[in-house]
Amino acid sequence: MQKAGSQSLRESSNGNMSSVDLFSPTTVGGLTLANRVAMAPMTRSRANADAVPAPFSAAYYADRSDAGLLITEGTGPSAMGMGYARTPGIYNDAQVAAWRNITDAVHAKGGRIFLQIMHVGRIAHAANRTIAAAPIAPSAIRAQGQMWTDTQGMQPNDVPRSLETSEIAGVVEEFAHATRNAIAGAGFDGVELHAASGYLPNQFLATGSNQRTDAYGGSTENRIRFVVEVLEAMTKAAGSAGRVGIKVSPGMPFNDLQDEDPIGTHLALMDAIGPMSLAYLHVMRTGIGAETALRDRYQGTLLVGGGLDKEQANAGISSGAFDVAVFGAKYLANPDLVARLKSDAALNVPDNSTFYTPGEKGYTDYPTLGS
Ligand SMILES: Cc1cc2nc3c(=O)[nH]c(=O)nc-3n(C[C@H](O)[C@H](O)[C@H](O)COP(=O)(O)O)c2cc1C
**CA–centroid distance, residue 2 to ligand 1 (Å):** 35
- Of 43, 72, 322, 354, which is best to mutate to test ligand 1, by the most ligand atoms within 8 angstroms of its C-beta? 43
Predicted structure pTM score: 0.96
Contact 8, 318 (CB under 8 A): yes
Contact 143, 254 (CB under 8 A): no
Instruction: Give the CA count within 13 Å in the CB-facing half-sphere of 236.
Output: 12
Phi-psi region of 18 (alpha: psi -120 to 50; beta: other; left: phi over 0): beta
**CA–centroid distance, residue 43 to ligand 1 (Å):** 7
pLDDT > 90? residue 370? no
Instruction: For 257-293, write each residue's pLDDT tens digit.
Output: 999 999 999 999 999 999 999 999 999 999 999 999 9
**CA–centroid distance, residue 215 to ligand 1 (Å):** 32
Per the residue annotation, which of 61, 91, 199, 280 is the catalytic one? 199
* Spatial distance between the Cα atoms of 180 and 183, rounded to a whole number of angstroms: 5
> CB of 23 closer than 6 A to ligand 1?
no
> CB of 210 closer than 6 A to ligand 1?
no
> CB of 255 closer than 6 A to ligand 1?
no
**CA–centroid distance, residue 193 to ligand 1 (Å):** 14
Whether 199 is catalytic is yes
pLDDT > 90? residue 132? yes
**CA–centroid distance, residue 41 to ligand 1 (Å):** 6
Q: What is the pLDDT of residue 7?
A: 35
Instruction: For 295-336, write each residue's pLDDT tens digit.
Output: 999 999 999 999 999 999 999 999 999 999 999 999 999 999
Q: What percent of the chain has pLDDT over 90?
A: 94
Single-letter residue type at 99: W
Q: What is the pLDDT of residue 8?
A: 40
pLDDT > 60? residue 13? no
pLDDT > 60? residue 14? no
Q: What value does the mean pLDDT take over residues 240-269?
A: 98
**CA–centroid distance, residue 329 to ligand 1 (Å):** 7
> CB of 116 closer than 6 A to ligand 1?
yes
Q: What is the pLDDT of residue 19?
A: 86
- Of 39, 42, 255, 356, which is best to mutate to test ligand 1, by the most ligand atoms within 8 angstroms of its C-beta? 42
Instruction: For 57-92, write each residue's pLDDT tens digit.
Output: 999 999 999 999 999 999 999 999 999 999 999 999
Instruction: For 179-195, write each residue's pLDDT tens digit.
Output: 999 999 999 999 999 99
> CB of 355 closer than 6 A to ligand 1?
yes
Contact 101, 58 (CB under 8 A): yes
> CB of 272 closer than 6 A to ligand 1?
no
Of 3-12, 237-246, 330-339, which gets the smallest average pLDDT? 3-12
Average pLDDT, the chain: 95
Instruction: For 21-66, write each residue's pLDDT tens digit.
Output: 999 999 999 999 999 999 999 999 999 999 999 999 999 999 999 9
What count of residues does the chain have?
371
Q: E-assigned strands of the chain?
A: 3-4, 7-11, 17-19, 26-28, 31-33, 37-39, 69-75, 113-117, 136-137, 146-149, 153-156, 161-162, 190-194, 244-248, 280-284, 302-305, 324-327
> CB of 306 closer than 6 A to ligand 1?
yes
Q: What percent of the chain has pLDDT over 70?
A: 95
> CB of 329 closer than 6 A to ligand 1?
yes
Q: Whose CA is nearest to atom 6 of ligand 1?
A: 42
- Tell which atom from ligand 1 comes closest to the C-alpha of 329: 27
Q: Whose CA is nearest to atom 31 of ligand 1?
A: 329
Instruction: For 100-114, write each residue's pLDDT tens digit.
Output: 999 999 999 999 999
> CB of 254 closer than 6 A to ligand 1?
no
